[in-house]
Amino acid sequence: MIRILRGISLILLLCSQLSLSQNEWTLQKCVDSAVVNNSKVRLASLELGKSEIIYEGDKLNFIPRVHAGASHGYNWGQTIDPFTNEFATDRVQYNNFYLSSSVALFTGLSNYYQTKISSNQTNIRTAELELAKRNITIDILTAYLQVKLNEGILNMRTKHLEYVQEELAKAELLYENERIVEGEVLEKKARFSTEYFQMVLAKNDWKKTLFLLQVTMGKEPDSSFRISDSISLSCEYSINELELEKLAQERNLLLSKQMQGQFYPSIRLNGSLGSGYSENRTEISPDGSINAVPFGNQLSANFYQSLSATLTVPIFNGTKSYAEIKINELEYQQLLIEEEQKTLELETKLLELKFDIDNNKLAYQESKESYLVSEKWYENNKMSFDLGKIDYFKLLESKDALMNAEAEMIQAKYKLIFSELIYFIYSA
């Protein structure tokens, strides 16, 4: 039995050194890794990239559009040749080359506001990316501190199991020397089994939270992954929910102005130039034969240019445009109300976090005092037990009270750290 206990002692010694690793991850390193690898952050980054491309494209709406084209074909049967305006009854080869351009001179400022909307959308996507980074930071902080909490509970369970193991080893020696009855040994074995089971549960909880932390980071789970005792965090966020609400209101106003442009006339300038070739255009050669005019000569002779302006005046399209504007105005009022709600929520959140910090400080201080009292009680009972003044059950009662006090102190400690860091993140 003693050999088995020594083997278990080696396992427990390894478990008690969980935080020792050559490549420990600090809280800051975990956050930095998550900001790069987490899928939600990467999706927000891609959305920002799409918005930037759209914005750059909308800025080019002010320059003319230019198109070039060429065609080559044959006509059979009776048709009018576009270059000679004569009927052709035989098979005729034709070619056409052109260059056309158009530019919007006035569209009710539609292009102007579209560029503004695209710029606004890029700002919204930038804000959403910052919020995604902030949210993943909170997720990592929660998972990281949960690992530290479970690690502390596991270390506590490990130390308590070592104590029970020592008591069992003493009892077995006393039983071998016939100083105690077998029932006392069996009692301590049952106690050891219970504590060992609790230690295994604590170890599984610790492993599970380590796994979840790595998944949240966007990292491939690794059994050798360990975190350090460092719980420091440095982060800056350039925008919050209130600024997002402002950007949404700005977008709504820009959309309204763009819709109002639908009631104005639009003016577009169009221009084109080109030339062509047709076998139907012939000439009499010096030897009296009839041949098609050479390709180069026709291109020069058939060269054409055109310039036109198009005016479009909206007269009636039902009430669609008017209804869209009115709906947009109502949506703007909704956004104003949502901003008021968001402002109140944020102020309430910060106030609650301040209260949490004060309460958690008080709870942590009280838990430390409770731990010291429980520790003193256990030490006194241990001395009394060694002198034979109290029985084993009384000693276990004080030991359990000490272990519970230590667990409460560990939980209070990480609750305080969490509330302080969350307040730091939101107030940043």
Q: Taking phi first (over 0 means left), then psi (-120 to 50 degrees means alpha), and beta for anything else, what does residue 53 get?
A: alpha
Q: What percentage of the chain reaches a pLDDT higher than 90? A: 44
> DSSP string covering 93-144, please?
EEEEEEEEEEEEEESTTHHHHHHHHHHHHHHHHHHHHHHHHHHHHHHHHHHH
Q: How far is CA 183 from CA 171, 172, 186, 304, in A?
A: 10, 11, 5, 115
- List the chain domain ranges: 255-262+321-428
The burial class, CB within 10 Å (0-12 / 13-18 / 19+), for 382 is: middle
Considering only CA atoms, which of 296, 273, 277, 281 is closest in space to residue 94?
277
Contact 103, 267 (CB under 8 A): no
Contact 277, 95 (CB under 8 A): yes
Q: How many CB atoms lie within 10 A of CB 384?
A: 15
Those residues whose C-beta lies under 8 Å from the C-beta of residue 199, and which sit 6 or more positions away, are: 12, 15, 154, 157, 158, 161
Contact 417, 363 (CB under 8 A): no
Q: Per-residue pLDDT tens, the chain, 428 aa: give them.
A: 444 444 444 444 444 444 444 578 999 999 999 999 999 999 999 999 999 999 999 988 888 888 999 988 777 766 666 666 666 666 777 788 889 998 888 888 888 999 999 999 999 999 999 999 999 999 999 999 999 999 999 999 998 899 888 888 888 888 888 777 888 888 889 889 988 999 999 999 999 999 999 999 988 898 889 999 888 888 766 667 788 899 999 999 999 998 888 888 889 999 999 988 877 777 777 777 777 778 788 788 888 899 999 998 888 776 777 888 899 899 999 999 999 998 999 889 899 999 999 999 999 999 999 999 999 999 999 899 888 888 878 888 898 899 899 999 999 999 999 999 888 888 76
- Let me know the angle formed at the C-alpha of 263 by 259 and 268, rounded to the nearest 5 degrees: 100
Residues in the chain: 428
Query: Strands 92-106 and 266-278: what pairing?
Result: antiparallel
Considering only CA atoms, which of 76, 97, 98 is closest in space to residue 279?
76
Amino acid letter, residue 368 = K
Contact 273, 99 (CB under 8 A): yes
* Separation of alpha carbons 325 and 411, rounded Å: 55
Those residues whose C-beta lies under 8 Å from the C-beta of residue 249, and which sit 6 or more positions away, are: 332, 335, 336, 339
pTM: 0.76
pLDDT of residue 84: 65
Q: How many helices (H) and strands (E) does the chain have?
A: 9, 8
* Separation of alpha carbons 280 and 88, rounded Å: 7
Contact 277, 295 (CB under 8 A): yes
Considering only CA atoms, which of 201, 195, 198, 202 is closest in space to residue 152?
202
